[in-house]
Amino acid sequence: MPRKEPAAPDAAPTAVAVPPQTQAASPPITRPAYIDGAPVRPNGEIIKAKQPKNWSDPYQAIVTGVGFEMGEDREFNERVFTFREKPSAEVLATLKENGFTYRPNEKAWTIQANPDTRKLSDELARQFAGPVTGKGR
């Protein structure tokens, strides 16, 4: 490779050496106070943690009768009938006739909840409970 010829003496230098800048001294690394304890405000007041939300159970029993329970599962938006023992053929026929579906894993009869099915399930719960005697205001 051929050598470059030196620049002419009257030409201005193209690069100027700049001395390295000294960096300002950084503050020493300190451990934040909240690691050792509760977080505090600059005036020393302890910052309290927010309370976790207390969500309720998505299933709520509405009617508890002799041998059965009717409730609503808000997680799946369903009305649910559960029975302690296998219900009679008449009760099973009524549930099937009104569109309820049996869920063997939950051992429950369910139907999608909407205003009409809520009214229907309330009426069926009253029918399955039988006549109420001695309870009045």
Structure tokens at 58: 């998505």
Coil, strand, or helix at residue 19?
A: coil
> Is the confidence at residue 115, as pLDDT, over 70?
yes
Neighbouring-strand partners of residue 82: 69, 108
pLDDT per position as a tens digit, 16-59 = 667 666 666 666 666 655 566 666 788 878 777 676 677 788 89
Sequence ranges of the domains in the chain: 59-129
What number of other Cβ atoms are within 10 A of residue 95's Cβ? 21
Selection from 113, 50, 51 nearest residue 81 by Cα: 113
Place of tokens 């999608």: 112
